[in-house]
């Protein structure tokens, strides 16, 4: 007999039209075009599950298995993702006059970024649903993660990336045995190719928010933050945003924890940071729109932020607005400079996206959005080691 995870998973729901769907068949988007999200039986979970009952011996994000979608333990595909350090600033906080500054350092995840969380969840669920071949359109890190987790799960993987991605992403996907297709374009063009090849060759696409389970892995960042602050959430979270799964996922986690009775109603202000060369969410936030228009000719060294349009745009904008947060764009010069500052003053060798978070914090202090007494978490979403070809030319 297979051993059960004890999950409280119920089904899938559409956050736009409230349509429901089983989570025991392979799911993509809702027929209305919106991403689907996973629903759990929160009242049963609130009655039976306590913070203390979560497996203390599990260091990975699977500690939260009762609140993740996989039913049988044997389907979990893990490389030890999650459980990343929350590092209190030793220097930058002092310099900025912000004593309560923290870095959530996701660079220590398997495959070098927080994409590992989402893809551990999605590939585990794919295995549970009997899916044999998975594809992903990616700006880099998601491709590394799909390749590694598919290798571990014994699934075939097809990674579709822009031809100008940093070299590390090509090398590791290749070593993991993934088929690689390079596209002359952005992640959006890769998405079109992935959809074509899914249709023609039967690949299952794990494109951001086009399947409902990656976000479940990413939401564990919200659970971890709450635990790290003893179930009182920080005032501000700064998050470098591409497709937005992390932002939407953490927002969902906070709601879930309130339903479980683990936290109260207080929420952090959620801040989305993007690059000036590709800032569809920052632009839509500023103009008050519910959806984000596609960004023409996107360009930035922070590959994970070169996402010109996102199916989850309205969910990101909703979370940012409900939280009374904001969305900001920073220049490539500023984010590269702050990559070096993170490395030199904090010992954190960050991906450019992490530099963007710190550059954003400077802007928010200047504008008065962040106050010196506030507790702020800056996300370092990936490792600089994946971007050596970009960083070696940096200022
Ligand atoms: C993918 C990626 C992002 C953007 O993450 P989303 O959750 O898709 O918005 C940020 N930083 C790094 C390093 C990434 O790989």
Question: Tens-of-pLDDT digits for all 395 residues of the chain?
Answer: 568 999 999 999 999 998 999 999 999 999 999 999 999 999 999 999 999 999 888 999 999 999 999 999 999 999 999 999 999 999 999 999 999 999 999 999 999 999 999 999 999 999 999 999 999 999 899 999 999 999 999 999 999 999 999 999 999 999 999 999 999 998 999 999 999 999 999 999 999 999 999 999 999 999 999 999 999 999 999 999 999 999 999 999 999 999 999 999 999 999 999 999 999 999 999 999 999 999 999 999 999 999 999 999 999 999 999 999 999 999 999 999 999 999 999 999 999 999 999 999 999 999 999 999 999 999 999 999 999 999 997 76
Rounded Cα distance, 207 and 35, in Å: 11
Alpha carbon of 19 to ligand 1 centroid (Å): 28
Size of the chain in residues: 395
Rounded Cα distance, 221 and 66, in Å: 15
pTM value is 0.97
Check if the beta carbon of residue 139 is closer than 8 Å to that of residue 303.
Answer: yes
Burial code (b: 16+ CB inside 10 Å, e: under 16) for 232-251 equals ebbbbbbbbbbbbbbbbbbb
Protein residue with least CA distance to atom 4, ligand 1: 242
Top mutation candidate among 108, 242, 281, 356 for ligand 1, by most atoms within 8 Å of CB: 242
Q: Report the 3 state secondary structure along 99-121.
A: CCEEEEEHHHCHHHECHHHHHHH
For the chain, what is the radius of gyration of the CA atoms?
19
Pocket of ligand 1, beta carbon within 6 A: 113, 115, 141, 208, 240-246, 304, 351, 353, 381-382
Alpha carbon of 141 to ligand 1 centroid (Å): 8
């Amino acid at each position: 007999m297979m051993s059960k995870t004890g999950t409280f998973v119920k089904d899938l729901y559409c956050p736009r039209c409230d349509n429901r769907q089983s989570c025991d068949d392979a799911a993509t988007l809702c027929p209305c075009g919106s991403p689907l999200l996973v629903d759990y039986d929160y009242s049963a979970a609130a009655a039976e599950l306590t913070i203390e009952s979560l497996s203390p011996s599990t260091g990975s994000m699977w500690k939260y298995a009762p609140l993740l979608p996989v039913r049988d333990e044997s389907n979990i595909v893990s490389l030890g993702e999650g459980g990343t350090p929350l590092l209190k600033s030793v220097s930058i906080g002092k310099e900025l006059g912000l004593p309560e500054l923290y870095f959530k350092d996701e660079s220590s995840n398997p495959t070098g970024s927080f994409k590992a969380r989402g893809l551990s969840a999605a590939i585990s669920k794919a295995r549970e649903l009997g899916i044999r071949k998975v594809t992903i359109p990616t700006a880099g890190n998601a491709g590394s993660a799909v390749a590694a987790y598919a290798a571990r799960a014994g699934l075939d993987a097809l990674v579709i990336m822009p031809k100008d991605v940093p070299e590390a992403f090509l090398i590791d996907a290749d070593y993991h045995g993934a088929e690689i297709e390079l596209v002359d374009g952005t992640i959006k063009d890769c998405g079109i190719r992935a959809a074509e090849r899914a249709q023609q060759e039967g690949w299952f696409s794990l494109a951001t928010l086009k399947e409902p389970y990656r976000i479940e892995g990413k939401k564990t960042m919200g659970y971890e933050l709450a635990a790290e602050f003893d179930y009182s959430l920080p005032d501000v979270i700064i998050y470098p945003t591409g497709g937005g799964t992390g932002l939407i996922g953490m927002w969902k986690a906070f709601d879930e924890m309130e339903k479980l009775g683990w936290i109260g109603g207080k929420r952090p202000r959620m801040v989305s940071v993007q690059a000036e060369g590709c800032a569809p969410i920052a632009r839509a936030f500023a103009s008050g729109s519910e959806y984000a228009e596609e960004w023409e000719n996107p360009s930035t060294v922070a590959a994970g932020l070169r996402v010109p349009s996102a199916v989850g745009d309205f969910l990101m904008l909703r979370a940012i607005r409900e939280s009374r947060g904001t969305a900001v764009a920073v220049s490539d010069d500023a984010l590269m400079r702050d990559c070096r500052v993170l490395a030199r003053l904090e010992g954190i060798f960050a991906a450019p996206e992490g530099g963007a978070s710190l550059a954003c914090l400077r802007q928010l202090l200047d504008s008065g959005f962040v106050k010196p007494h506030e507790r702020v978490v800056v996300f370092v979403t990936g490792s600089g080691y994946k971007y050596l070809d970009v960083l070696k030319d940096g200022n």
